[in-house]
Structure 1
Amino acid sequence: MPASPTPASPAIHRTVDDLRAALAAWRREGLRIALVPTMGALHEGHLDLVRAARERADRVVVSIFVNPTQFGPKEDFGSYPRTEASDVEKLAALGVEAIFAPNAAEMYPEGFATTISMVGPALGLETDFRPHFFTGVATVVGKLLIAVMPDIAVFGEKDYQQLMVVRRLARDLRLPTEIVGLPTVREADGLALSSRNAYLSAEERRLATTIARVMRETAEAIRAGGTVEPALAEGRAALDAAGFRVDYLVLRNAETLAELTDPANEPRRMLAAAWLGKTRLIDNIAV
C-alpha cells in the first residue's frame, strides 16, 4: 500500500516585507486569505481555529509570536512555552500555506513609539488585574491585521473579552477584515484548552475542572430564576473552597461587556478568572 504523501511545510516568514510579498502573489490570483493569530504552543483549540480558517479561505496564514507588550513585569513571558518546531509540524498537517513568526525586533524595532489604547470592551475584568494587557493585545493584533490585511481573522471565544476588543478595534479602525469567533474547545472533562494548562501539576489539573463546573451550576441557578448576584457570590465561594483564588466571576452583557441593567432581557455572558496555584485560568459561558 503506498505511503501517504508528506504534507508540504508551510513557508515561514520572519519579516513583514517577506510576508507581504507572498500575500501580494496570492492577491493577484484573487485568493481569499485568512489569518489565525497565536502565541504558539499550539493545542487542539488553536488547530480548530485553523481548520475553520481553511474552510473559509483559499490560503491560511498563522502567526506565531509571544508578544512581550501584553505581559506585565511579574508575568510569565520568559517561561511561556515556545514550541515552534512542533507547531510547524501541526500546521503542515493541516495544509497551512504560511507562518508569520517574527522576533520582537521585527514587531517593535528600536524607536517604536505607537500603541493602540482602548476603552469600551477593554475596560474592567482583565484590565482590573492586568492594566497593561489590552494595550499590548490591541497593538499587536492591529499590527498583524495591517501586515496581513486578511479577508477574515479567526479567534477563539475562550478569550472572550479579547475577542470583543478585537472586534471593536477592527470596526473602529474600519479594517477590511471579518473577525470570526469560534466556541471554546474543551477537554472531555470540561476544562477549556489553554497553553498555560501545561503549568498545572497533576493534582491542580484534577481540580482545574472545578471552574467550568461551578460556572455551569451558577448559570443553571440564574436560568432557573435565581437572583444574579447571590448566585455569583455562591459560585465565588465554591471556587474559594476548592482552593482557587478568584479574580472575578461575573455576568455581563455579551455584546458590550457592560454591567447588566436589565438582566432578564439582555444577552448574557458569564466570565471568570481564577488562580490555581501559580496558574491563572480564564473561562466563560453563555447564559
Structure 2
Amino acid sequence: MLVHSSSEYSCLSSRSTSLLRIPLILILRKMLFSREVESRRVAVQGFINILAQFRVMGALPSSQASFSFFFYIEPNNHNARANIIVRRTLYEGLSDVAKSNVKLVHNIMELLYQHLSTFIDIKEEILNPVKLHKTVTTQGESVVILEPLGELLLCLSKCKSFHDNRRTSRGMDDDEDDDFVTTLNGICSMFDSLVEKLAYCDLDDLNIGNISCSSAGARGKTNIMYVEVMIGVYDGLLHWVFCNDALQSPDKMKDLIALFKTQRKIIEANERET
C-alpha cells in the first residue's frame, strides 16, 4: 500500500489547484468580453474570488500586478449601461480582496489611485475638482453613467482603512517601499483637497448645470447624471473623513457635517425639480 506524506499531499493539492486555475482564468477572460451583462459581472466576480482566495500575484512585482489588475478595470464599450454594473461589482469586490488578501492591498490602492486621477483636477483655481464630463456618456437618446465615481472613492477609502488597521494591529512602520509611500501621500492629498473644495462650496460651484433644467432634453438628462455622480462622490468623502479620526478631531467633524449639509442641498434641489 502506497502511503503519501502530508507534504506530498500538500504538493499534489497545490499542483491540482494550479492546473484547475489556468482553464478557469481562460474561461473568465472570455466571459469578461461578452456582450451579456451578467456574463461580464460573473467574470469579474470570479476574478475577485481568485484574488481573494488563491493568493495569486502576491509575489509579483508591483508593476506586473498593477498591469494585471488594470485588465479587469478597463471598460467594455459594447454597452455603457453594462459598464456601470460591472464596475460596481469590481469596486465592491476589490475592497473585499484588500481586506482578505493583505499581499495585494498596495497593488489595489496604487491601481485605484491611478485610475481616480483621470477624473480629478485639484488645481487651486478649479472650483469643482471632479471632471464630470468624463463620468457620463451618451448612448443613443440616453445619457448614462460610465464611471461610478462614488463607488471608486468608497473602494479606495475602504482600502486605506484596511491598510491603516493592519499597520496599527501589527505595529509596522518601515515595511513599505518608497513608491507606495508616494502613492499613499498622493491618495491622502487628493482626498483632503476634495474635502476642502466640496465641503464648503455653493451649488453653483459644482458645474452640474441648472438642476431645474428639463429632464426631457439631452442637457437635462446629463445634469441629472451629474447630480447622481456628485451625490456618490459625497458618500465616498463622508466615509473618508469619518474613518480618519473625525470623532477625535473637531476640524474633521466640522468637515464631516459640512459635507453632509452640502450633499443634502444637492439632493433636495434635485428632488424639488424632478
TM-score of the two chains, using structure 2 as the length reference: 0.29
- Which one has a larger percent strand, Structure 1 or Structure 2? 1
- Which one has a larger percent helix, Structure 1 or Structure 2? 2
